[in-house]
Chain A
Amino acid sequence: MTPSRTAFAAILAKDLRSELRTLQSLPAMALFSVTTFIIFRFGLDRTALSGSLASGVLWATLLFAAVLGINRLFVAEREEGGFDAIRLAPIDRSVLFAAKVSALLVYLLALELVAVPIFAVFFLDDAAGLGPLVLVLLLTDLGLAATGTLISSMAVNSRARDLLVPLVLLPLAVPLMIAATGATEPLLSLGGPSYDRFGTWLMVLGLYDLIFGLVGYAVFDFLLED
């Protein structure tokens, strides 16, 4: 029986290497974000954003860009026989869940590395709130990664693959968005960042991550059964 750590590292490395070579999801996600920012600029008829508007635009864009990446997460596994390989391999199957969550987390962080500075350049007058924003981004990405991996693994085996992920994921992501925007709004407010209920929102994010990480880890085995 291969130790889980080795299997986890191997699957994660495979995913990241594959993405680096083919660059399927990341450029699309980044370009989508930038274009969406432009659409918001015209849709809201504003050139500067702060407070709740800034927070809303940023998080809506990141969420929809994330859905693009989540849709593609298990496609290679399905088409190239990766699921069969995992079933045959002498490893704990939940390792696939952990590896995929980590890979998705890396993609989301890479996306934000591009999208958030561009957002700041486009819309923000003062970038002081971006430092603590990193913490919010990290925790929210973890939650999105856990829930997204779970839904994606189920959707990939269905008929309406690309439809199911946004359909099922968005309601599940609502608490994440509530907490993320709740924490981000005071950070991006006009007079400079404030930390109104910052700790509380971070705790909500952490709780969500914990619950869905555990639920995903627990049920993933059943999803891989033939």
Chain B
Amino acid sequence: MYGKGLKPLSIATVAMLALSLSLVFFYAPLDGDQGFIQKIFYLHVPLAIVALIGFVVGGVFAIAHLRTDNRKWDAYSYVSIHLSVIFGVAVLITGSIWAKASWGHWWVWDEPTLVSFLIVFLLYATYYPFRYAIEDRDRQARYASVFAITAGAFVPLNFMAVRMAQSLVHPRTFATAEGGMPGEMMLTFLCSLVAMGLLWTTLVKFELTAKSASGQVKRLRRALDAPVSGGSSRIAPEVS
């Protein structure tokens, strides 16, 4: 049921990723300041944007779960947050590489965006120990939804607060994506953004399909009174 449309979606994702990578390497012009290093921006920023949107989407699914009491929304919320956390790791790693290459340090505290993202990432990383510490299934799903909603509300507040903590006299040390980007860069950036969005969606669909399949297998095994293998001490949300 979940697997429907997975193949065309995957093909579209691969095609889009191939397109954006070619644009990055062959079409987008070299940045005046940073040269070739700047190209990691086309990977890093779309990953970050998609991860943040993914967190908020996880919160929206959580609201749907609390309102309808349908467990599938909880599974969607879990998977959204799961993949966004993974994308978050990628954001932090690519960001560090970029920082080292262009400023000489692996991490800088001066950039509000980096620090805000780190805090958001750390918060969502606590989603797992939090979730698995609650034993009762229904309660686990409900509390996880509450967490996702609270954390979703937290994201914009956090970005605002960290940005404000910047000293007003400190200069912005790199030109952001917004101001004065030439047309070719913008096109490449948008293609990368779409590609990352598709990648996220495809991976979510994959994970939901996998969970659904293993859930069906478990149910069949239980019906046959056969031993249910793959005993994990965690109780990941089942998808029906």
Contacts and interface: CB of A to CB of B under 8 A. Distances in A.
Interface of A: 147, 150, 154-155, 157-160, 163-164, 167-168, 171-172, 174-175, 178-179, 182, 200-201, 204, 207-208, 211-212, 215-216, 219, 222-223, 225
**Interface secondary structure of A, over-half rule:** helix
B18 interface: no
A222 B146 contact: yes
Contacts of B66: 219, 222
A168 B126 contact: yes
27 contacts: A150-B146, A154-B130, A155-B133, A164-B129, A164-B133, A168-B126, A168-B130, A171-B122, A171-B123, A171-B126, A172-B150, A172-B151, A172-B154, A174-B158, A175-B160, A178-B161, A178-B162, A179-B164, A182-B164, A200-B164, A212-B153, A215-B153, A216-B150, A219-B66, A219-B149, A219-B150, A222-B146
B134 interface: yes
Interface string B147-174: 1011101100110111011000000000
Contact of A167 (B120, B126, B142, B154): B126
A157 B134 contact: yes
Interface residues of B, number: 30
Contacts of B149: 215, 219
A163 B165 CA distance: 29
Nearest to B62: A219
B119 A171 contact: yes
Interface in B94-145: 119-120, 122-123, 126, 129-130, 133-136, 139, 142-143, 145
A223 B138 CA distance: 11
Which residue, A150, A211, A216, A222, has most C-beta atoms of chain B within 10 A? A222
Chain A to chain B: the 6 pairs with minimum beta-carbon distance, closest first:
A175-B161, A171-B123, A158-B133, A160-B133, A158-B134, A178-B161
Contacts of B161: 174-175, 178-179, 204, 208
